[in-house]
Amino acid sequence: MVAIWGTYYAFGVFFKPILTEFGWTRAMTSGAFSLSMILHGLLGIVMGRLTDKLGPRRVMALCGFLLGLGYLLMSQIGTVWQVYLFYGVIVGIGMGGAWVPLLSTVARWFTKRRSMMTGIVLAGTGIGGLIAPPVANQLIITYDWRTSYIIMGSIVLVVVVLAAQLLRRDPAQMGQVPYGGKQGGEQGLEGGTWGFSLREAVYTRQFWLVFVMDLCLGFCMFAIIVHIVPHATELGISAGSAANILATIGGMMIVGRVVLGSAADRIGNRQIFIIGFILVSAALFWLVPATEMWRLYLFAVVFGFAVGGMGPSESPLIAGLFGLSSHGLILGVIALGFTIGASSGPLLTGYIFDVTGSYQAAFLVSAAIGIIGLVLTALLRPITGERGKIPGS
């Protein structure tokens, strides 16, 4: 998580140097990131299915190789189609393993404290977001952006491929039971034998509510992650200070992952999404008139805490609603909603800036999307019917 998401979040730091060298528009350059997010979502479904069948080791090794390759090739770009191929396609395919295989594996290994453990694992995304942007900025200053991509690509390739060799699909492969499970063989939800198939899940109202909730989260989150550094520099803030704002978001994501992930086991995953969307919308409204550094840092603190805190509740919420037998596949399809939002957010935000010359209208659009997510979360209820009320939602 640290290696994968840290390098991915650093795209915003490379944004301005690439624009400066080639003179492309923000929408054109953001489009490559958006394409990578679309493929990240589509391939997440495939990788989720492969994880259900083959386990995470081989899936993550392949994804780590493609991620490293994509970043290494980015160091050689000279035309915009190469950015779309190397970053949009190759990195996008590699990112198919960045969420679903890892979170589905955590869900299978933990019955008790599932949300907290998911939060701890997901803290790796925040640690990556905290470390990578300032490191990438310093590498660009010391060397150049092309050399920086070579360094980042080498790191992510080695770390992910090697770490993948230690992963196992579920405890049964090692003669164990999930943490909090029962000895002597698990049944039902805890053992992963119970659950909706994808075909059954898509006919439920809850499936589509969670799908669009994820879309709203992805839109708000990545519209900011891609554009907060260019926005800050437009206000006259130095590139180093702007990178630190993005790093603050990453740091607070760590706090949100752990704090709200732990709280979810006590108050419920739906309540965490309600809290998160309230904070996200409030932070975005605050960002619109903000020009001083302290206002931008306060935004980063609240926003990072909120988007980070919602992440750990996604996989446990889906496990509680639909069971574990097809968890990877269902999580992959619902995560597609996140990536649809994450791909459209940066693209629309860049387009609005190109048309208006300001990010203010774009941030208001993101705030409205956050309110939609809040309303949908308030409408979510546990599934009842022939299968009875499903716990954990």
The pLDDT of residue 389 is: 39
pTM of this structure: 0.75
- Maximum mean pLDDT: which of 208-217, 307-316, 347-356: 208-217
β-sheet bridge partners, residue 195 = 323
CA atoms within 13 A on the CB side of 371: 9
Token pair of 84, please?
């779309």
Is pLDDT at 189 greater than 70 in this prediction?
A: no
Kindly report each contact of residues 350-359 with a partner whose C-beta sits within 8 Å and lies 24 or more positions away, as own/partner: 350/25, 350/26, 350/27, 350/29, 350/30, 350/31, 350/226, 350/227, 351/27, 353/26, 353/27, 353/227, 354/25, 354/26, 354/27, 359/227, 359/231, 359/234
Residue pLDDT, tens place only, 262-283: 898 889 899 999 999 999 999 9
C-alpha–C-alpha distance, residues 45 and 11, integer Å: 24
* Cβ neighbours, 10 Å, residue 11: 25
The per-residue pLDDT of the chain, averaged, comes to 87
In DSSP notation, 269-325 reads HHHHHHHHHHHHHHHHHHHTT--SHHHHHHHHHHHHHHHHHHHHHHHHHHHHHHBST
- Range of weakest confidence among 73-77, 253-257, 373-377: 253-257
Q: Does the pLDDT of residue 21 top 80, yes or no?
A: yes
At residue 292, what are phi and psi to the nearest 5 degrees?
A: -80, 155
For 132-140, what is the mean pLDDT?
89
Residue 235 or residue 175, greater confidence: 235
Q: pLDDT value at position 385?
A: 59
| Range list of H helices, 10-165 | 11-22, 26-54, 56-74, 80-83, 92-94, 100-109, 114-142, 145-164
Q: Catalogue all structural domains in the chain, each as residue range(s) with its CATH number.
A: 2-171+190-379 (1.20.1250.20)
Only one residue has tokens 């048309």, namely 355
Residue 56 and residue 99 in contact, taking contact as beta carbons nearer than 8 Å = no
